[in-house]
Structure 1
């Protein structure tokens, strides 16, 4: 969490839940191993992404997703 907002979360089987802005999410979801998050029966939209553990192979890859979430948080605070 940052400024009271969820940035990322851990899900089953090592999946990383990442909150980004809609525009970034639309581009990021096209990457292999990335999908729009589904919570229960609800598909969350491009601002909530599930990133498979295979995409998170090293610290740099993990930092990419953390930075994407931080950037989205910064952008939403400015609006």
Structure 2
């Protein structure tokens, strides 16, 4: 998730259009609530950052499905 309270002043004024991000989150994460993670896409959209956001039926960790999805994203974009 993105905590806007810790970002550097003026971040929103910079050009972020060259960035691409893969963002994922566990639907049952007991450490970082999924409600925090779902605030990320609007922030990235506002900054003009291309992204993929996916949720997985897991807790606080990377499931096999999550790993393969991230790997596929990396192979597609880089």
TM-score bracket relative to the smaller structure: 0.3 to 0.5
Higher strand share: 1
The structure number with the bigger radius of gyration is 2
Normalising by the residue count of structure 1, what TM-score does the alignment of the two structures yield?
Answer: 0.32
